Chains A and B, each alone.
Chain A
Amino acid sequence: MAILKLDQVTKRFGGLVALKDFNANLEEGEIVGLIGPNGAGKTTAFNVITGVYKPEQGRVTFNSRDITMLKAHPRTAMGICRTFQNIRLFDQMTVLENILVAMHIRLKKSIFSVVAGSPGYQKREKEMKEEAFELLRYVNLDHLADERAPNLPYGQQRRLEIGRALATNPKLLLLDEPAAGMNPQETAELMEFINKIQGEFKLTIFIIEHQMMVVMGICKRILVLDYGLTIAQGTPKEIQNNPKVIEAYLGVKDSA
């Protein structure tokens, strides 16, 4: 069954059509890649799915519920979470706190009981901290729990961002260029990591990535965008041999 369905989604900025008649179907448990040259509309697609932008036309359905006009934060509650192309951590907070923020959505305690320090809240806070530590151990950052997020090296910041997204208990995870700026070894580790979390958290993953090694390595299916239009989709093998894709990436071949 499709967990996420985008139906003829169009998003414009002024005169610029960032995304046109975009269709996508993500089956539960799939890892799907979204590729295309810079400015092709990939991040716009993510923003439409997560509710940062509302599309002018089309429908976004998640778990058979129409979420096209829903705000961003209830979508997170429903199980959609993301990372950002340019890392967006909470800079004045520690690594542990970054994770805890993402659990606030599941707190379900009134502000009065929190300020009064009710036993229920204290128990919940303790559970949250334990869960956050477990998650930090899982992403191998537990030894840095009290470090401020910006003090982490780049690769660990990326990992923390993924960990933070996992803390919201997502069903669908959107990764926006997770391998950007990584060396081949880090990239290989990342691929393994993505495969691992997909299995253990029973995630559906939608991933934007420029490093073809990643996309070809972990995605079963790939969508290709160019100038807001979907120019191809299929298995990695099909995409690699698709003349349209080659053209979009390398420019028009001179046939003369």
Chain B
Amino acid sequence: MTLTHFFQHLANAVYLGSLYALIAIGYTMVYGILRLINFAHGELLIVGAFIAYYGILIFHLPWWLSFIIAIALGALVGMSLERVAYRPLRERGAPRISLLVSAIGASFFLQNLGLVIIGGRHKSFYRPPFFAQTLQLGDVTVMNFLFILPIITIIILGIVFLLVYRSKTGMAMRALAKDYPTARLMGININRIIAYTFALGSALAAIGGIMYALRYPAIHPLAGVLPGLKCFIAAVVGGIGNVPGAVLGGFILGMLEIMGIAFFPHLAGYRDAIAFIVLIIILSFKPTGLLGEQVVEKV
């Protein structure tokens, strides 16, 4: 491998890492509060990507407006999902596994609804010139968005930190994640906070979906399954419920996936298995993830 190749791969790895990180944050926030693997999170990615796609294609909106609308609608879809599929169970005090089953159902529902409405053929996502321009750095040629995404991730990370650690709602979110009954007793409106968390997480998913589509422009309704799962794994590897952990996990997975294949090209077919193998190794040695806290069960 030449140095040029190495840097090319590195740029790709950083891109994929920040993409995973972005999506994993949404996962970790929802899990932190609801203790629920939102299986449908991967579908929210694709919802975002398709709204952006149709906004440009059918409504001829400028790409940035279409993106913003996609993010807003993505948040709305996430909130509705919570309202319909999760809240009723939560209010009836259903066991967590029931919520998981409901989430799996929601995931399949969105996938197949997409198939019915959109069809299974790949659609080619529009790359705005601003993102598609190439940049020449010595011998390395990269497209603009390869730089833009990590920057966006950092900005969003900053915003999320401000929201979670500096705002009143954020404080309520953290209280809820720590101790559900006490938070309720303290007069926190649980439904509102959870809806807010879902909106935020889903908006991040929509952003991630758009970024994913910019990188891999052939989109179709089932395209969110695998990145969705991988980002969940990223969140678990980093320590679920922990925002910096999600970022760390996202980068680890992104790096391993790109660099692993770059160094061992004959393993390219196993690319989609890497995340799962990492998951299994991490969970065997540190069941709460790299930055996760240990939970002691009260006897």
Check A-B contact in the complex, CB < 8 A: yes
Cα–Cα distance between A193 and B299 once the two chains are bound (Å): 25
Chain B window 239-275, contacts with chain A (Cβ cutoff 8 Å), 1 for yes, 0 for no? 0000000000000000000000000000000000000
A40 to chain B, nearest CB (A): 15
Cα–Cα distance between A139 and B46 once the two chains are bound (Å): 61
Q: Which residues of A contact B299 (CB under 8 A)?
A: 43, 47, 52, 84-85
Chain A window 11-49, contacts with chain B (Cβ cutoff 8 Å), 1 for yes, 0 for no? 001000000000000000000000000000001000100
Closest to B296 in A: A13
B297 to chain A, nearest CB (A): 9
A78 to chain B, nearest CB (A): 20
Chain B window 34-74, contacts with chain A (Cβ cutoff 8 Å), 1 for yes, 0 for no? 00000000000000000000000000000000000000000
Cα–Cα distance between A41 and B234 once the two chains are bound (Å): 37
B298 to chain A, nearest CB (A): 9
Q: How many positions in chain A have a CB within 8 Å of any CB in the partner chain?
A: 6
- How many A-B residue contacts, CB cutoff 8 Å? 6
Q: How many positions in chain B have a CB within 8 Å of any CB in the partner chain?
A: 2
Chain A window 61-102, contacts with chain B (Cβ cutoff 8 Å), 1 for yes, 0 for no? 000000000000000000000001100000000000000000
Q: Which residues of B contact A13 (CB under 8 A)?
A: 296
B299 to chain A, nearest CB (A): 6
B225 to chain A, nearest CB (A): 34
Cα–Cα distance between A47 and B296 once the two chains are bound (Å): 12
Of residues 285 to 299 in B, which have CB atoms within 8 Å of A's CB atoms? Answer: 296, 299
Q: Which residues of B contact A52 (CB under 8 A)?
A: 299
A196 to chain B, nearest CB (A): 27
Cα–Cα distance between A84 and B298 once the two chains are bound (Å): 11
A108 to chain B, nearest CB (A): 29
Q: Which residues of A contact B296 (CB under 8 A)?
A: 13
Cα–Cα distance between A13 and B299 once the two chains are bound (Å): 14
Cα–Cα distance between A84 and B299 once the two chains are bound (Å): 7
Cα–Cα distance between A43 and B299 once the two chains are bound (Å): 8
Cα–Cα distance between A47 and B299 once the two chains are bound (Å): 8
Closest to A84 in B: B299
Cα–Cα distance between A52 and B299 once the two chains are bound (Å): 9
Q: Which residues of B contact A84 (CB under 8 A)?
A: 299
Cα–Cα distance between A47 and B298 once the two chains are bound (Å): 11
A202 to chain B, nearest CB (A): 27
Cα–Cα distance between A206 and B299 once the two chains are bound (Å): 17
Closest to A88 in B: B299
A233 to chain B, nearest CB (A): 24
Cα–Cα distance between A163 and B299 once the two chains are bound (Å): 20
Closest to A85 in B: B299
Closest to A46 in B: B299
Closest to A176 in B: B299
Closest to B294 in A: A14
Closest to B293 in A: A14
Cα–Cα distance between A13 and B295 once the two chains are bound (Å): 10
CB-defined A-B contacts under 8 Å, sample of 6: A13-B296, A43-B299, A47-B299, A52-B299, A84-B299, A85-B299
Nearest first, the 5 closest Cβ-Cβ pairs linking A and B are A47-B299, A52-B299, A13-B296, A43-B299, A84-B299
